[in-house]
Amino acid sequence: MDKILVQGMRFYGYHGAFPEENKLGQRFYADVTLELDTRGAGETDDLSKTVNYAKVYELTKEVLEGEPVKLVETLTAQLSDRLLEEFSIVEACVVKVIKPDPPIPGHYDSVAVEIRRERGKD
């Protein structure tokens, strides 16, 4: 299966388990890999036969800057579900959401959740 990668997207959201995270907000990053057949687009140079990267970014922004949730797991699952709903040509996706500088004891660069979802599988 071919892959389209949209990496290093950066957003500001109000997600987290602690009240101060919901009030102050923080940065979130996302990497998305979409698995699909790109032959039609490659042969015809036709954007309608592939995934528009700008739409991937906008959808990711809606989720990561949207309604606050407590868990990075929830954000990641919501984003993967939305990608599969929006792009019927996509057979599977890998979504990674990164929370840099999490407010937990100790020194961490970041925490992240990465999931893979396939069309038609729960």
Report, as residue numbers or ranges, the catalytic residues.
Answer: 99
Pair 36, 50: CB distance under 8 Å: yes
Angle (CA) 119-97-9 rounded to 5° is 100
Q: Quick one: 75 exposed, middle or buried, by C-beta within 10 A (0-12, 13-18, 19+)? A: buried
